[in-house]
């Protein structure tokens, strides 16, 4: 067996490993199960790529995103390493060839999405593959305690059954104690070795800026940035609006969100990676596995719902080890909006009971009736009749369904959905006699992952636009495949149904599983509190707070974040600096005050003074500035 150092030098050109990489590699190469927590930018991929070259045989890598798999495979091939990936949109012939190459020893690394682990084509060949290592990337996706749980990832546990003697390496950038425990359970790890790196990133500067003029401040930040930047926003429409606004200001920007086609997403991401665009404005659909070294700034315009999400997204800055900024620019009202949004997803028991009673009245059912009955159901009509807020109805029906009272046809809540019921070969044979059907199936597989393992939400109009067809033509193809028994197609807005799994009980007898409800609510609120606490100005150090959240011990202040720099007059925090400087300039004229700043700074200072006046922190009377006590 070649040494890890020799392989590292031969293929990657590095003389030494980063902290903890060698420990992980040596344990994996000796046949041990390892769970590795390496913060973003810690070099997780080398921890399975190097042993893949040390061990004679195949390494299977389970990875969540097509873009990530394509990127890693492309890089490995450029280094002379035989790597392949299987993902939606590939032809049957290409999948066949790739699996056979893996089976007969012509591939060292085979990348698979979790959905692929259940397909007949993989299962038929898996047992004959010379597998020596299994790597589960982004392993937190397997945990229901985690912030990015993906049901399809539960399939990864089946690899232990197929390859009981093969070591498993699970890697993730962020995981709490509960998440690491569930990863070990779900993957059936044996005598697992936990390797945990520090969550400190010496080159990252964390700042939280409370602003009423978010847009203007973000503009100024991006103009200062000398490299690429990411701006995270919560909603798709806001991403598009922010990107358009920045472009009008002369800042090269592009939008990225989950509503775009895969082709559009690839195009946008590649333009940003190639530095054709300085800024990418994105929802949290963007970023996992993106490896761009010169991101100098990550700005959160909207708040994530927990520290896990924030740390992963912010950690995409400064992967080249150079100075970079992780900034939350928050409107004073944003925190309250975040709390409200999470709380709305967990209505009080009286609200849930009210929806329960109203639902049965809407369906005209008496106490003792309804068990097993199915009814047409329009959620908007229901909410309108009983004058209930839509958010409350959605949340209450979701809780009633999880508690076993009802089963709601998913199309009533989540739009059209598709699940493939047949094997790959049969599906593709359907195309041979119909060129349009072939074009349609390929477009469907390219646009959506997981169609074999779960019911996936689709957008007929989006498919129609991609194919340059009319929406009705797309629906006809879906109905045809459904009629042939090849897919299950549930069309949004048609045949919406609700099934009652229990008979109606008097309102006084209605109850839900309080323990399960409380667990879900407490988990959501705890993660929310972790984010809100991070935003406060009474914490000692932003980075130290993050490290302690992930259970690091013996942490110290970073010396770089806005809290550590507060006594040094951080140049980024104009408002604090200006406000402090007024303490000994009572009654100074506006002209004299501005004269203390450079000409190019005076416009920004004026804006800060206006904000301070709006917040009643200062008064400007007869062209003189007074600091309010």
Average pLDDT of adjacent 10-residue blocks, the chain of 629 residues:
88 88 94 88 86 95 80 88 82 86 94 84 90 93 69 83 95 82 92 89 92 89 89 89 94 86 79 93 74 89 88 89 92 82 86 96 94 82 91 87 73 64 73 77 82 76 88 86 80 67 93 84 84 89 91 85 68 59 75 77 76 80 79
- Rounded Cα–Cα distance for residues 546 and 315 (Å): 12
Residue 304 near residue 310, CB atoms below 8 Å: yes
Strand locations in 71-192, DSSP E?
Answer: 83-86, 109-112, 131-136, 168-172
Q: In this structure, what are the phi and psi dihedrals at residue 254, rounded to the nearest 5 degrees?
A: -145, 155
Q: How many residues does the chain have?
A: 629
Residue 284 near residue 309, CB atoms below 8 Å: yes
DSSP letter at 232 equals E
554: in domain: yes
Range of the domain at 218: 204-332+537-563
**286 burial type by CB count under 10 A (0-12 exposed, 13-18 middle, 19+ buried):** buried
Same domain, 399 and 459: no
Same domain, 118 and 188: yes
568: in domain: no
529: in domain: no
75: in domain: yes
- Rounded Cα–Cα distance for residues 534 and 357 (Å): 41
Q: Are strands 193-196 and 34-37 parallel, antiparallel or unpaired?
A: parallel
532: in domain: no
364: in domain: yes
Residue-wise burial string across 17-53, b where 16 or more C-beta atoms lie within 10 A, e elsewhere = beebbbbbbebbbeebbbbbbbbbbbbbbbbbbbbbb
| Cβ neighbours around 271 below 10 Å, total | 14
Location of structure tokens 């498919």: 463
Location of structure tokens 């091939």: 77
Q: Which residues contact 522 (CB under 8 A, 6 or more apart)?
A: none
Q: Which residues contact 452 (CB under 8 A, 6 or more apart)?
A: 115, 118, 119, 419, 420
> Given this model, what pLDDT does residue 299 score?
96
State the Cα angle at 352 between 346 and 354, rounded to 5°.
145
Same domain, 182 and 110: yes
Same domain, 45 and 161: yes
- Rounded Cα–Cα distance for residues 236 and 281 (Å): 10
- Rounded Cα–Cα distance for residues 603 and 473 (Å): 56
Structure tokens at 57: 């045989």
Q: Which of 258, 185, 192 is nearest to 33 (CA)?
A: 192
55 Ramachandran zone, left/alpha/beta (phi>0; psi -120 to 50): beta
Same domain, 191 and 53: yes
Same domain, 354 and 454: no
- Rounded Cα–Cα distance for residues 539 and 532 (Å): 11
Q: Which of 224, 206, 237 is nearest to 300 (CA)?
A: 206
519: in domain: yes
- Rounded Cα–Cα distance for residues 312 and 181 (Å): 20
Reported as half-sphere exposure (CB side, CA atoms, 13 A), residue 303 has a value of: 28
Q: In this structure, what are the phi and psi dihedrals at residue 627, rounded to the nearest 5 degrees?
A: -85, 125
Q: Give me the number of domains the chain comprises.
A: 5
> Given this model, what pLDDT does residue 568 score?
42
Q: Which helix or strand (DSSP H or E) is residue 26 part of?
A: helix 21-29
174: in domain: yes
281 Ramachandran zone, left/alpha/beta (phi>0; psi -120 to 50): beta
Structure tokens at 68: 């990530």
Same domain, 242 and 318: yes
> Given this model, what pLDDT does residue 163 score?
94
Same domain, 405 and 418: no
Residue 50 near residue 4, CB atoms below 8 Å: yes
Same domain, 214 and 320: yes
Same domain, 186 and 213: no
CATH code, domain with 224:
3.40.50.300
Same domain, 357 and 304: no
CATH code, domain with 397:
1.10.10.10
User: In angstroms, what CA-CA distances link 7 with 15, 19, 51, 54, 55?
Assistant: 10, 17, 9, 8, 11
Structure tokens at 14: 């590095």
Same domain, 13 and 153: yes
pTM of the predicted protein model: 0.60
CATH code, domain with 601:
1.10.10
């Amino acid at each position: 067996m070649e040494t890890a150092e020799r392989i590292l030098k031969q293929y990657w050109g590095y003389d030494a490993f980063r902290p903890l990489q060698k420990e992980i590699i040596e344990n994996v190469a000796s046949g041990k199960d390892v769970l590795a927590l390496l913060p973003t930018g810690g070099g997780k991929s080398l921890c399975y790529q190097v042993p893949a070259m040390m061990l004679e045989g195949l390494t299977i890598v389970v990875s969540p995103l097509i873009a990530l798999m394509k990127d890693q495979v492309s890089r490995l091939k450029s280094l002379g390493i035989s790597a392949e990936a299987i993902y939606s949109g590939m032809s049957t012939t290409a999948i066949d060839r790739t699996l056979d190459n893996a089976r007969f020893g012509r591939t060292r690394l085979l990348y698979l999405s979790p959905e692929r682990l259940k397909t007949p084509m993989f299962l038929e060949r898996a047992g004959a593959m010379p597998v020596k290592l299994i790597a589960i990337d982004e392993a937190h996706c397997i945990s229901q305690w985690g912030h990015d749980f993906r049901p399809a990832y539960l399939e990864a546990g089946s690899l232990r059954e197929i390859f009981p003697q093969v070591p498993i390496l699970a890697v993730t950038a962020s995981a709490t104690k509960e998440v690491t425990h569930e990863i070990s359970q779900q993957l059936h790890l044996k005598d697992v070795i936990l390797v945990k790196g520090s969550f400190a990133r010496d080159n990252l500067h964390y700042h939280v800026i409370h602003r009423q003029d978010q847009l203007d401040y973000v503009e100024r930040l991006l103009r200062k940035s000398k490299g690429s930047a990411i701006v995270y926003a919560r909603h798709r429409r806001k991403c598009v609006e922010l990107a358009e606004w920045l472009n009008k200001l002369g800042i090269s920007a592009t939008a990225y969100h989950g509503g775009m086609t895969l082709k559009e997403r690839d195009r946008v991401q590649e333009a940003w990676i190639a530095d054709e665009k300085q800024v990418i404005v994105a929802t949290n659909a963007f970023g996992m596995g993106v490896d761009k070294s010169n991101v100098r700034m990550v700005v959160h315009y909207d708040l994530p719902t927990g520290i896990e999400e924030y740390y992963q997204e912010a950690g995409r800055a400064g992967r080249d080890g150079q100075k970079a900024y992780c900034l939350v620019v928050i409107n004073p009202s944003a925190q309250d909006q975040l709390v409200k949004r999470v709380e709305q997803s967990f209505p009080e028991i009286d609200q849930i009971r009210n929806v329960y009673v109203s639902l049965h009245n809407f369906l005209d059912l008496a106490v003792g009736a309804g068990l097993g009955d199915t009814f047409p159901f329009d959620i908007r009509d229901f909410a309108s009749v009983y004058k209930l807020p839509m958010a409350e109805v959605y949340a209450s029906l979701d809780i009633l369904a999880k508690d076993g009272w009802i089963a709601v046809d998913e199309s009533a809540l989540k739009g059209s959905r598709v699940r493939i019921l047949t094997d790959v070969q049969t599906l593709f044979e359907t195309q041979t006699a119909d060129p349009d059907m072939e074009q349609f199936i390929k477009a469907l597989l390219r646009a959506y992952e997981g169609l074999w393992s779960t019911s996936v939400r689709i957008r007929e109009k989006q498919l129609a636009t991609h194919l340059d067809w009319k929406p009705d033509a797309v629906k006809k193809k879906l109905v045809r495949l459904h009629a042939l028994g090849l897919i299950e197609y549930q069309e949004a807005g048609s045949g919406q149904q609700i099934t009652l799994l229990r008979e109606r009980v008097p309102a006084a007898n209605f109850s839900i599983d309080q323990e399960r409800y409380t667990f879900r609510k407490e988990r959501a609120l705890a993660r929310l509190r972790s984010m809100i606490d991070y935003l406060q100005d009474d914490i000692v150090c932003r980075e130290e707070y993050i490290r302690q959240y992930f259970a690091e011990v013996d942490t110290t202040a970073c010396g770089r974040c806005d809290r550590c720099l507060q006594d040094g007059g951080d140049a980024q925090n104009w408002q604090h600096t200006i406000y402090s400087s007024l303490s000994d300039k009572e009654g100074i004229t506006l002209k004299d005050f501005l004269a203390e700043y450079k000409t190019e700074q005076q416009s920004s200072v004026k804006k800060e003074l206006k904000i301070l006046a709006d917040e009643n922190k200062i008064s400007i009377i007869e062209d003189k500035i007074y600091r309010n006590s």
